[in-house]
Amino acid sequence: MSQTPETASANAYAAAGVDIHAGDRAVDLMKVWIEKSRRPEVLGGVGGFAGLFDASALKAYERPLLATSTDGVGTKVAIAQAMDKHDTIGFDLVGMVVDDLVVCGAEPLFMTDYIATGKVVPERVAAIVKGIAEACVEAGCALVGGETAEHPGLLAADEYDVAGAATGVVEADGLLGSDRVEAGDVVLAMEASGLHSNGYSLVRHVLLNSGAYTLDQQVSELGHTLGEELLTPTRVYAKACLELARGTKTHAMSHVTGGGLAANLERVMPAELSARIDRTTWTPSPIFDLVRRTGSIDLPDLEMTLNCGVGMVALIAPDDVDEAVRILAGYDIRAWAAGEVTDAPGGKVELTGAYAGW
């Protein structure tokens, strides 16, 4: 049977390690999940060269500002690969990207993803995209497209990495930021679901290498296996924070990612003010103490690397704290007053006291 030039080319590419047909199969499997994240403004379907989003809705804005963010999930993908569980890493990706948008008050509109792998396994790629799409639904944004690339020789067959980018919009006079922060504002902490997607190089080194734990090991203080704990999906705060911005006098927000609570909050602090946070107002979940004790890590180092139980913070007017806590509780997010903005100059954030039980 003779081959067409296209078949011969595909076979040659497959011999070099790239399976075009596997990529096509992956697209077919992921379509159903992408469709679930669809918003009315999305035009067309999966498979085009670019995702299309009808921007005519922006005409309703007086002065629409577009916001954009991009990120990945770091070495947490190594845990997903080791456990052969790939349908939660998408929540980490979406959380890392869209929750950077909402801190300025922007509603995430649409997102694209990029998956690079040593070998396209359609079912695995579809599982990754399933998680991304489900998280987009939770964030209220559409997954309008993406790219899956097979890189044999660069990545092993079972290795992959994921990244994404999102675009959002905020009315100019609703833009949150340091210029709105006032002395006396309350630092409202929002509980993290766990480690989220930061510091995994440290966590893996401490627990899996130096600490000699295994991913399938039951850890009594965690209440399940270490692997289950490390794969706990990143909490997606987007919808809750947008309602918080609409329903309270929220002046600024900070997404607590790499660098920890203090460093990230300082990014939205005006130079003429500072903030003080009281550690005694919460106890980080057991995974943070496990990392600290196993690695004999000093608290400043731990807090510069991990979120220590706080995934997002808002700076709000004192008389709106109760309403803010109520709004967030409606999204199953525990929140509490953890500190306040002071009139001390410098734009610094100081953590005081000790975590209960530490």
The rounded distance, in Å, linking the Cα atoms of 165 and 33 is: 18
pLDDT value of position 3: 38
Question: What digits encode the pLDDT tens for the residues 278-310?
Answer: 999 999 999 999 999 999 999 999 999 999 999
* Least confident residue range of 10-24, 50-64, 112-126, 281-295: 10-24
Q: Quick one: average pLDDT of 104-128?
A: 95
In a 3-state reduction of DSSP, which class is residue 229?
helix
The rounded distance, in Å, linking the Cα atoms of 95 and 124 is: 20
CB contact at 8 A, 131 and 91: yes
pLDDT value of position 122: 87
Q: Quick one: average pLDDT of 245-250?
A: 98
CB contact at 8 A, 294 and 207: yes
The rounded distance, in Å, linking the Cα atoms of 168 and 134 is: 18
Cα(first)–Cα(last) distance of the chain, in Å? 73
Alpha helices in the chain (DSSP H): 5-15, 20-36, 76-83, 89-102, 122-139, 200-203, 226-230, 238-247, 260-266, 286-295, 299-305, 321-329
Question: What digits encode the pLDDT tens for the residues 129-149?
Answer: 999 999 999 999 999 988 899
CA 185 to chain centre: 26
CB contact at 8 A, 233 and 132: no
CB contact at 8 A, 248 and 186: no
